[in-house]
Amino acid sequence: MSVSRIASRYSKSLIESARDNGKLEAVKADMETVLATCEESKELRNLLKNPIIKASGKRAVLAKVFSKTDGMTQDFIAYLAEKRRESELATIAAQYIGLYNQLKGISSATVITATALSQETMSQMKKYVSVLLQKNDVELNNKVDAAIIGGVIIRHEDKLLDKSVSKELREIRKTLIYN
C-alpha cells in the first residue's frame, strides 16, 4: 500500500504537534474515530473527494461530524479543509495511528476468523500473537470472514500465518489434482 507524501507529511506534523502539546493519546483516539467514520460513511468520503463543494462547506460539515473531538483535532481538520487536503483525511488518520504505534512500540496484528471471537479468546489470542511476534505490546483486531470456514489467519505487516480450513482444503485439492 503506497501512502501519499501529503498524508505522510501531515501525519508527521500532527504527531509532532500533539507530542509537543501533550495530547498524543487524545489525538490518537480522535484519529481512530476519524478513520472509522470515513470508512463507514460513503457519503462523507464522496463529500471529501468532491471538487465542486467549496472548502467552507466541507469545513462546516467536518466541524459538525467531528464536533466531539479534541480542539487540536478540530483545528487540524479545519486546516486540512482550508488547504484543500480534506480528501486525504482518512489516509492521514491511518498514518497517524501507525506513527503513534511505532512511537509507543505497539505492534498491530489482525486475526481473521470465521466467527467473532469472545473477549476471553481474544485475550488468549493476544498472548499467542505476542509470543509469535516476540513483541510485548500487541494491538489485536478481529475480522470475521465466513469464507475461511474455520481456523484462523493472523496478519502482521507483511507476514501471514494461514491456519484456516479453506487453506487446508485448497492444499488437499492441489494434492489430489496434481498427484
- Tens of pLDDT along 7-33? 999 999 999 999 999 999 999 999 999
Band of pLDDT at residue 3, cut at 50, 70 and 90: low
Grid cell locating 149 = 470456514
For residue range 147-157, what is the model confidence (pLDDT) as tens digits?
Answer: 999 999 999 98
pLDDT over threshold 90, residue 89: yes
Q: What is the pLDDT of residue 135?
A: 85
> If we measure between CA atoms, which residue out of 4, 157, 156 comes closest to residue 90?
4
Residue ranges of the domains in the chain? 5-103, 106-178
- Is the domain 5-103 a CATH 3.40.50.300 member? no
d(CA 30, CA 95): 13
Q: What is the b/e burial string over 91-108, where b = at least 16 CB atoms within 10 angstroms of the residue's CB?
A: bbbbbbbbbbeeeeeebb
For residue range 60-79, what is the model confidence (pLDDT) as tens digits?
Answer: 999 999 999 999 999 999 99
CB hemisphere CA count around 34 (13 angstroms): 29
> If we measure between CA atoms, which residue out of 123, 95, 117 comes closest to residue 18?
95
Average per-residue pLDDT in the chain?
Answer: 91
pLDDT over threshold 90, residue 90: yes
Grid cell locating 50 = 468532491
pLDDT over threshold 60, residue 1: no
> Residue 50 CB: number of other CB atoms within 10 A?
12
pTM of the predicted structure, to 2 decimals: 0.73
Q: What average pLDDT score do residues 158-166 get?
A: 90
The DSSP H or E segment spanning 156 is: strand 151-156
pLDDT over threshold 80, residue 2: no
Grid cell locating 15 = 504527531
> If we measure between CA atoms, which residue out of 85, 59, 73 comes closest to residue 15?
73
